[in-house]
Amino acid sequence: VLPGFEAELVNPVGRQLKADGIKMITGATAVNVVQSADTITLHYLKNQEQLHVTAEYVLVTVGRKPNTDGNLGLDRIGLPVTTRGLIETDEQCRTVIPNIFAIGDITSGPSLAHKASYEAKIAAEAIAGLSSEVDYRAIPLVVFSEPELASVGLSETEARAKGIPIVIGKSTFGINGRALALKETEGFVKIVANPISGIVMGAQIVGVEASTLVSELALAIEMGATVEDLAMTIHPHPTLGEVIMEAAENAVRKMIRGERGK
Ligand SMILES: Cc1cc2nc3c(=O)[nH]c(=O)nc-3n(C[C@H](O)[C@H](O)[C@H](O)COP(=O)(O)OP(=O)(O)OC[C@H]3O[C@@H](n4cnc5c(N)ncnc54)[C@H](O)[C@@H]3O)c2cc1C
C-alpha cells in the first residue's frame, strides 16, 4: 500500500482504512475482469490461488504516460522523445530546439501539478532572458488519505541506501494540544537533516493537515534552513505546526556537536 512512502508512515493510513471497514488485498495480481449488466468481477491471483471480488466499479489508479505520440507533431519539428515518450530539457526547461521549452508531465520527474507550474515559472523567466534554473530538492508529495501523508526532499530510507549521514528528528501529533483538541492524534513529523550542520534535507509527515504543514518544511529546504532555525522559530500555541518545531528540537538534541557545541 502506497509503496512510495516508508512503512511507518503508511501504517496509520492502513489502520484507518481497516477501521473504516475497507478490506485491503495486497501481494495480488489482477488477471482479468468480467463485466455484467450491473456488476464487475475482478479475478486475481494471490499465493497461486485464483480468487475474485465482485463490485459495482473497478477503478484503475496506476499508470500514466506522456501524450507525446500522435497528433502533437514533435517528429515534424525534429524534437526527439525518450523511450518513455518524455521530452528532454535542460535546467532552464529548454528542449534541444533552443526556442522550444517543455514543462510538466511530458518532461522527466514526478507528474505533479505543482512541479509543472514551478517549471512554467522557470521557463517563463528563461524566455525573458533571466538565468533562472530548476532546483528539484524540495518538491512536496502529498497523498490526501486519512490521515494525510506528505513528503519533501530526502527520506531516511533514501539517505540510508545512499550512505548519506543524517540525523532524524521526530515528534508526534499525540502530544500536540491542537491535535488533541481536534481528536486527530494519529501520526508524526519526521525531519531528516545533516548531523553536523543541521541543514534540513527532507521531511515526512503522516497526520492531520500534513498537506499544509509540509510547505513549512519545503521552505526550510529551499532556504537552506537548519533544524535549529526551525526549533528556534516561535510557533504559536496551540497549533499543529508545533509538531514541526518539536521534531526539529528532537533533531537538534541528537546532532553531532563539533564546533557548534563549543
Ligand atoms: C486523476 C488525477 C489526479 C491527480 N491529482 C493530483 C494532485 O492531487 N496533485 C498534483 O499535484 N497532481 C495531481 N495530478 C497530476 C496533475 O494533474 C498533472 O501533473 C498536471 O496536470 C500536469 O500539468 P501539465 O501542464 O504538464 O499537463 P496537463 O495538465 O495534462 O496539460 C496538458 C494540456 O495539453 C493539452 N494537449 C494535449 N495534446 C495537445 C495537442 N496536441 N495540442 C494542444 N493541446 C494538447 C491537453 O488537453 C491538456 O490541457 C493528478 C492527475 C490525475 C490524472
Max Cα-Cα span within the chain: 75
Ligand 1 atom 2 nearest Cα? 61
Contact (Cβ atoms closer than 8 angstroms) between residue 254 and residue 167:
yes
Q: Return the pLDDT at 261.
A: 45
What does the mean pLDDT of the chain come to?
Answer: 95
Share above pLDDT 90 across residues of the chain, in percent, rounded to a whole number: 91
Continuous H helices in 39-112: 74-77
Task: Indicate the range of 3-17, 59-73, 228-242 predicted with least confidence.
Answer: 59-73
Binding site membership of 184 for ligand 1 (Cβ less than 6 Å): no
Q: Return the pLDDT at 3.
A: 86
Binding site membership of 71 for ligand 1 (Cβ less than 6 Å): yes
Ligand 1 atom 41 nearest Cα? 72
Cis peptide before 147 (omega within 30 of 0): yes
- Copy the grid coordinates of residue 161: 541506501
Q: Which residues on adjacent β-strands are paired with residue 187?
A: 207
Distances (CA, A) of 68 to 80, 82, 97: 10, 10, 16
Binding site membership of 211 for ligand 1 (Cβ less than 6 Å): no
Q: Return the pLDDT at 259.
A: 52
> Across residues 224-249, what is the average pLDDT?
98
Atom of ligand 1 nearest to the CA of 110: 19
Contact (Cβ atoms closer than 8 angstroms) between residue 30 and residue 55:
no
Model pTM? Answer: 0.92
- Residues annotated as part of the active site: 237
The residue whose CB lies within 8 Å of the most ligand 1 atoms, and thus the one to mutate among 2, 87, 103, 111, is: 111
207 Ramachandran zone, left/alpha/beta (phi>0; psi -120 to 50):
left
Give tens-digit pLDDT for 197-236. 999 999 999 999 999 999 999 999 999 999 999 999 999 9
Closest by CA to 81, choosing from 61, 62, 96, is 96
Place of cell 525518450: 82
Burial track 172-181 (b if 16+ CB lie within 10 A, e otherwise): bbeebebbee
Contact (Cβ atoms closer than 8 angstroms) between residue 208 and residue 184:
yes
- In the reported structure, the alpha carbon of residue 112 is separated from the centroid of ligand 1 by a whole-number distance in angstroms of 8
Q: Return the pLDDT at 262.
A: 45
- In the reported structure, the alpha carbon of residue 22 is separated from the centroid of ligand 1 by a whole-number distance in angstroms of 30
Place of cell 550542520: 197
Question: CA-to-CA distance for 68 and 72, rounded, in angstroms?
Answer: 6
Residue 39 clears pLDDT 60, i.e. is over it? yes
- CB neighbours of 186 closer than 8 A, spacing ≥ 6? 12, 15, 16, 147, 173, 174, 206, 207, 208
Q: Which residues on adjacent β-strands are paired with residue 167?
A: 193
> Across residues 2-20, what is the average pLDDT?
93
Give tens-digit pLDDT for 103-114. 999 999 999 999
Binding site membership of 17 for ligand 1 (Cβ less than 6 Å): no
Question: What length is written for the chain?
Answer: 262
Q: Return the pLDDT at 179.
A: 98
Closest by CA to 218, choosing from 101, 154, 141, 138, is 138
Q: Return the pLDDT at 258.
A: 58
Q: Which residue has the higher pLDDT, 50 or 66?
A: 50
Ligand 1 atom 45 nearest Cα? 72
Q: Count other Cβ atoms within 10 Å, centred on residue 142.
A: 17
